Amino acid sequence: MIHLISGLMNSGKTLLMVKYGFFNFLRGRTIYSNFGLNFPHKLINSDFLLYIGKEQPSLDNCCFLLDELWLYLGDSRNSMSENNKLLSYFMLQSSKDMNLEIFITAQNVSQNDKRIKQNFHKLSYCSRFLRNEKGKFVKLSEDKRFLEKEKQERLYIEEKLFFNHYGGLKMKGKPLYHKANLWFGLYDTQQKIKSEIK
């Protein structure tokens, strides 16, 4: 299953993906990630993804966490490159396996290769909120990147979950709110993702 996670910069996309990845780890799945995690995983690079696209090894009972997918696939203007063909084929083939989860982040879904946009199963849209003294959630300003420690304790990531329903998006229920500081320790929040595809 392919699960896209979208949102503006610093909206909590990677944090949400790490939370889902950790739950998959607890279920006994092998975790592959293109960034470092503080729980057991296999760190991968673009060469490994291209290898999967070519050789199609068994990926039973696995979970992939791919941060900033556009760095690996390129944007929609490059959708016919060899890298895009290989990785898109990998994504689509693996989506047929119900025992494989793939989580990918991108600020904008439209940046992705068209085969990914047409065949993902779920989309989560993230925003940052603070919970005030009355228990209500207040949306943070987009340019508010760094928070004081006291506010970090009250930081939540709002997740609006959509299903790709016959080519259209259908929202599932009400937004979910994930307490951010419960998951910060599971990864390096300052790590930069760099493309290795030339």
For the chain, give the percent of residues with pLDDT over 90.
41
Residues β-bridged to residue 31: 63
Does the pLDDT value for residue 178 go beyond 90?
yes
Burial of 17 (0-12, 13-18, 19+ CB in 10 A): buried
Is 101 inside a domain boundary? yes
CATH code, domain carrying 70: 3.40.50
Instruction: Tell me the residue range of the domain where 149 lies.
Output: 2-186
Summarize pLDDT for 108-165 with one digit per residue, the tens. 777 666 667 777 889 999 999 999 988 899 998 765 666 777 788 899 999 999 988 7
**Nearest C-alpha neighbor of 150 from the set 133, 164, 170:** 133
Mapped onto helix, strand or coil, the DSSP state of residue 14 is helix
Question: How high is the pLDDT of residue 185?
Answer: 92
Return the H-helix or E-strand segment holding 116: helix 114-119
Residue located via tokens 């996670």: 5
Reported confidence tier of residue 167, pLDDT bands at 50, 70, 90: low
Reported confidence tier of residue 75, pLDDT bands at 50, 70, 90: very low
Is 13 inside a domain boundary? yes
Chain-wide mean pLDDT for the chain? 81
Is 192 inside a domain boundary? no
Ordered DSSP codes for 53-100: HHH----TTEEEEESSTHHHH--GGGTTSHHHHHHHHHHHHHTT-TTE
Range scoring the smallest mean pLDDT among 5-14, 72-81, 93-102, 153-162: 72-81
* pTM of the predicted model as reported, rounded to 2 decimal places: 0.85
- Backbone φ and ψ for 39, nearest 5 degrees, come out as -145, 160
Q: Based on the structure, what is the number of domains in the chain?
A: 1
What is the pLDDT averaged over residues 63-86? 67
